[in-house]
Structure 1
Amino acid sequence: MTTWTDVINFVRTRYEVLEESDGWLRFRLSGPRERTQQVAVHHLPEHDGGAWIEISSPVGRADEIDLRHLLELAGQSAVGGAGVVDGVALLKHTVPLEDLSIEHEFERPLRSVVARADALEEALTKSDEF
């Protein structure tokens, strides 16, 4: 059984952690052409009998991008959906924590969400703010 502590330890040993609390981590991944991308992993409360993990990565400030275009582009991706939290447009994906294979069911979607969010940020804002 995979625990939230397992996820925390996995992230700490592989990535530059920027912020951390009991229920979430924010860290940075390197991307192509010297770009970087922030990502947050949240431990979600029990739902449908089990805990979940949400992976989210910012795309841009919601009031500075074309949100309809973001939704159209996000809809083309195999992982993630678009949302806005605290004025920031995000690409988000959730996975169940119980029996989670960190290598396949966490790391792979994590990298996919981050790569897609970075590409969307570049396309929609022409910047690398996040």
Structure 2
Amino acid sequence: MRCDLCGAMIPAGSEIHSLVADSASVHGHDPSLDGSRILTACSVGHLADLQHNYRQKPFINAELWASKIALALQQHPDGLSTPQLAAATGLNTLQIERAIDWQREHRQSEHDPAPPPTQPADRE
């Protein structure tokens, strides 16, 4: 196992672990773990640094919801309707809308623009 801070290999049995809040973390099989991240460190000092870093990061519900949606869509590459997405994620329609809005804003702030909207074909 490697230290999450420095990447050093940690001898078996000497790892130090902690659980921290992280709205970007979604567990693939246990939704009760969504929003939590397990940290692994090689020393008490590195664990403290990692914990400090995660405490400085705000927990954003819409980020968690967007991650849950992304996981569900990865498992359904042909897409899902909003009701199907709600069933697959346990989110309601408002949470899905807020997650999509957050994702759009986040993508734009990362200078990764969304593809342009498609224009309907001209009908004459």
Work out which of the two has the higher radius of gyration on C-alpha atoms and give 1 or 2. 2
Which structure shows the higher helix fraction? 2
TM-score where L is the length of structure 2: 0.29
TM-score where L is the length of structure 1: 0.28
User: Which of 1 and 2 has higher RCO (CA within 8 Å, sep 6+)?
Assistant: 1
Which structure shows the higher strand fraction? 1
